[in-house]
Amino acid sequence: MTEAEFIDRWHVELPCYRTWGNFVRDEVQTELGESLGLDIATFLKIPTVPRLKDDNSLLGKAFHRSKNYKDPYLEIEDKVGLRFVVLLTGDISKVSGVVEGSTHWDWSLDKDFEADRESRPLEFAYQSKHYVVKAKLGLNVDGIVVPAGTPCELQIRTLLQHAHSELTHDSIYKRDPNTEVSKKVERTVAKSMALIEAVDDFFVQVLDDLEQANQVERSALVVMRMLYQQFVGKVAFVDKTNSLVLSAFRSELGPDLRDQLTTFLGKYSFVGQKIAERFDQQYTFRQPWILLAYLLVSTKPNYVREHWPLTLQEIEPVFTDLGKAIQ
């Protein structure tokens, strides 16, 4: 195949590869959101957009880099690629699990990437993952046919790994490796890689400690969201005020909280009705913590007044509904 024939075929099939890239991206993101309950807008630190190789890059890889391809067009498997950038190394496994569990494609580790990582360990972070996924069955998406076996490269890395790769991939390893500058730079890069791994370890430890410290509040929030839907008949909206309120009354979030709330809401059925009536007009009454506010105001109104972390005006209707004085 000549260079001209190669590019002609690429131009014909480019829409197919773009469609396959979009399909894979959408499938991974949908699964992350629906099965793992992740907010894609915050979980992925950089928007994932299919990247199609330009003509010169393809020709260089196919004919001018000593790759010894027998059929370069079929053997080059990163003609379209996706990059999933997450915060920490622990998040990489979440994306990997989705990629490896899909029924829409066959996956394998990217052989070119694995070979490069072995030969240039300073450039490639060990924990990052590169896959090639190939369509199991032919697809027809909006009139564009994607044949079975169409490949797409997936890169999964952390934000720090991404920054490191962006710096080193094109800027450093294209230098003459025998120059003193290159050797000095490689030593610096090695130190930066060690620092990145250390920082990631620290961040993971911090998150683990915070998860354990906030376990009581998180468990209480789960209970209140469930009971809110049961007794109010609507789905509560969760914002940062829940953290403030639950932290302020952490001592009240015992293991019997579910029983306390269930008994209270069953006895005072009007509470659920009052919350539902105010749901559309008052932001406060769309929060799960409103259940805790009613429970505590009914038994410890003075305690609530003294420790309430927000403005008392927000829960004045709670005091009124329960016949308690807010001042």
- Contact indicator for 316, 326 with CB cutoff of 8 Å: yes
Residues above pLDDT 90, as percent of the chain: 64
Amino acid at 116: D
Q: Are 106 and 37 in contact (CB under 8 A)?
A: no
Q: pTM of the predicted model, to two decimals?
A: 0.68
**Would you state the pLDDT for residue 120?**
56
User: Which 8-state DSSP code applies to residue 279?
Assistant: T
Q: How far is CA 287 from CA 239, 246, 271, in A?
A: 7, 12, 14
**Structural domains in the chain, sorted by start:** 3-209 (3.30.460.10), 215-321 (no CATH)
Alpha-carbon distance of 52 to 152, in angstroms, equals 10
The model's pLDDT over 174-232, given as tens digits with 9 standing for 90+, comes to: 555 565 557 777 778 778 878 888 888 888 888 888 777 778 998 999 999 999 999 99
Which of the pair, 67 or 51, is modelled with greater confidence?
Answer: 51
pLDDT at 322: 95
First to last CA, the chain: 86
Mean pLDDT of the chain: 88
Lowest mean pLDDT among 50-54, 117-121, 155-159: 117-121
| pLDDT digits 0-9 by tens, 29-64 | 999 999 888 899 999 999 999 999 999 989 988 887
CA–CA gap between residue 151 and residue 52 (Å, rounded):
12
